[in-house]
Amino acid sequence: MGRLILLLVLLLPVWAGVTAEIDPAGYTTDTIIAEEFYCMSEEDEDCLMPGVLTFPKGRFAARPLVLIAHGNGFEFDEYRYLAEHLAHNGFVVAGVASRLDSEISERVEDIFSHLRFLYDTHGNQLSDDLVLIGHSRGGEAVIRTANRLNHQLQGVQLRALVAMAPSLNDGVEALSAHAAQSFLLLYGSHDDDIVGEVEAGMPCDSPFRLYDRAFEDAGRAPQHALGSKAMAFMLGASHGGFSDRESIEPDPAVGINSYLEPGLQRHTTKRLVLSLLRWQVFGEAVFAPYLMEAQRSEGVVLQYEDGARLMLEDFEFATQEDPVLKPAWRRQGAVTLHWDRLYNLEAHSPHDSGGLMVKWNESVWSDARLTFELPKEFRDWEGFPYLSFRAAQVYGDINNRTGCDLDWEIVLESNPLSRAVRVSDFASLHYPETTVSAAIAGMRISKTAMQTVRIPLSAFGQVDWRGVKALSFRFTQPRANGFRRGSLVLDNLALTH
């Protein structure tokens, strides 16, 4: 039986209303929220499994439940910045405690215990829409909880899962496509706890791997894709910055100035998390672009993959169990290609997926390009508003210049026209950032983080969308400084929404 410990009413200003350009980090719909501590189990008047509910105050219809699982060394009530923001947007938020120094399997058990307790004691206030959020070990635990939810807890729908700097203590367990409607992963470049050391020829045990592997059981055919997923690699963000903690303990070799100020990290976290929840739980598509368009989040390398897509080329090997139709590749001019796992292609890649490395080096003007000749099954593009792919500059390659963006043209060929757009009109492909990690003896680390580029097909103008024969990357246009070289890794070429 739950014991009420404290009730606190919080008055904060309400957002003035929805405008054409929403700021999700400041957007609210419920003026007054309240806080209620509960105790799930006691021993000698000590609460062994406490929790804190933050919710809109007053009479209301059943609301979605958001559960926040804390990290090791963090407290269940150290995520108030996020809990209060979500409560101001119509969610009932539970910050839940786990047993001290518990294993991941025990944390999963604790999360299920809290969920059963909350639905038993507050069921009339809760809808069947559920969101799981976890930080560090809590992030690892909510992924495992999601994969077991349908067997452990009936009658709820997991609309969204958010993992903030999740650990990989018990190895990689991929989030199943049947477990969650959507997935958001947040990770900082200056995380000295979940470092994710990269090593050539070895998959990196970092949150990037959890993102790449998420929903992999859906298969690669478009009719099998179920969920949407996004990852934000936040430049300068620390491990503790996802909590309420104000202080940063910087690596002396890095210096405090290279870290993202905790308030800014929390601001970005609120913007991304609320955007996901209002889109996936409340169906408000106006929030979706904050998870798809990198230009809306400065200092964030953003990846996004839509569940409803037509994958043209994922650079994975076809298997007998999962045969996949692929386009033919054709290179022209001074272009070289290498196809392999990304961590084999690029020593600084934290990704666990197949990819293509493309290099070009033009000393004189010529038509250097990579062309994908589409089979007839891939030529009808009607109904898809975007062309999408993941790309990153190769760190340390002499064909790239430190501090310079990479740019090229995308060319579509259809009868009887050929149309081109520049990548830089829709995305900035920056040179990878480098940091220093005290956790691995002050080693300099750079992660070649992939970024999703989404190009609206309307930008190409008049095209026969039922007869697109080929798609080319044309590298002949020099940069502003006249540099005609480049090196990138490429993945997940798709039509999407």
**pLDDT value, residue 4:** 42
Considering the domain architecture, whether residues 191 and 62 belong to the same structural domain is answered as yes
CB 73 within 8 A of CB 239: no
- Picking from 254, 286, 305, the residue at the C-terminal end of a domain is 305
Considering the domain architecture, whether residues 291 and 314 belong to the same structural domain is answered as no
**pLDDT value, residue 318:** 59
Nearest by Cα to 306 from 318, 294, 288: 288
CB 63 within 8 A of CB 91: yes
CB 332 within 8 A of CB 373: no
Considering the domain architecture, whether residues 144 and 208 belong to the same structural domain is answered as yes
For residue 1, being part of any structural domain is answered with no
How far from each other are the two terminal CA atoms of the chain, in whole angstroms? 47
**Two structure tokens written together for 489:** 């890794």
Which residue, chain included where needed, has tokens 């400041």? 26
For residue 102, the domain's CATH number is 3.40.50.1820
Considering the domain architecture, whether residues 163 and 271 belong to the same structural domain is answered as yes
200-203 own/partner pairs: CB under 8 Å, 24+ apart:
200/343, 200/344, 200/347, 201/343, 201/344, 202/343, 203/341, 203/343, 203/352
**pLDDT value, residue 78:** 96
- Picking from 274, 305, 336, the residue at the C-terminal end of a domain is 305
- My answer on whether omega of the bond before 252 falls inside 30° of 0, hence cis, is no
For residue 2, being part of any structural domain is answered with no
Nearest by Cα to 430 from 411, 413, 450: 450
**Two structure tokens written together for 71:** 């990290």
**pLDDT value, residue 411:** 95
**pLDDT value, residue 205:** 84
DSSP state for residue 133 in the 8-state scheme? E
Considering the domain architecture, whether residues 271 and 286 belong to the same structural domain is answered as yes
- Per-residue model confidence as pLDDT tens for the chain (497 residues): 444 444 444 443 333 333 357 899 999 998 899 999 999 877 667 888 899 999 998 867 899 999 999 999 999 999 999 999 999 999 999 999 998 778 999 999 999 999 999 999 998 999 999 999 999 999 999 999 999 999 999 899 999 999 999 999 888 899 999 999 999 999 999 888 888 776 666 778 889 999 999 998 876 655 445 689 999 999 999 999 999 987 666 665 555 557 889 999 999 999 999 999 999 999 999 999 999 987 787 889 999 998 888 999 999 875 555 556 788 998 988 899 999 999 999 888 899 999 999 999 865 556 789 999 999 999 999 999 999 999 999 998 999 988 889 999 999 999 777 889 999 999 999 998 876 554 544 455 678 899 999 999 999 998 999 999 999 999 876 554 456 789 999 999 999 98
| d(C-alpha 360, C-alpha 196), whole Å | 30
Considering the domain architecture, whether residues 415 and 447 belong to the same structural domain is answered as yes
Helix (H, G, I), strand (E, B) or coil at 39: strand
Considering the domain architecture, whether residues 190 and 91 belong to the same structural domain is answered as yes
Considering the domain architecture, whether residues 376 and 280 belong to the same structural domain is answered as no
CB 62 within 8 A of CB 82: no
CB 166 within 8 A of CB 134: yes
CB 410 within 8 A of CB 426: no
Considering the domain architecture, whether residues 143 and 255 belong to the same structural domain is answered as yes
Range of the domain at 18: 7-305
Could you give the number of structural domains in the chain? 2
The dihedral over CA atoms of 470, 476, 477, 483, expressed in degrees to the nearest 10, equals 140
**pLDDT value, residue 161:** 99
| d(C-alpha 149, C-alpha 312), whole Å | 33
For residue 339, the domain's CATH number is 2.60.120.430
Considering the domain architecture, whether residues 161 and 122 belong to the same structural domain is answered as yes
- Picking from 305, 338, 356, the residue at the C-terminal end of a domain is 305
**pLDDT value, residue 60:** 73
Considering the domain architecture, whether residues 157 and 216 belong to the same structural domain is answered as yes
Considering the domain architecture, whether residues 286 and 339 belong to the same structural domain is answered as no
For residue 448, being part of any structural domain is answered with yes
**pLDDT value, residue 364:** 54
Confidence (pTM) = 0.90
CB 172 within 8 A of CB 178: no
| d(C-alpha 287, C-alpha 352), whole Å | 29
Partner residues linked to 52 by β-bridges:
37, 95
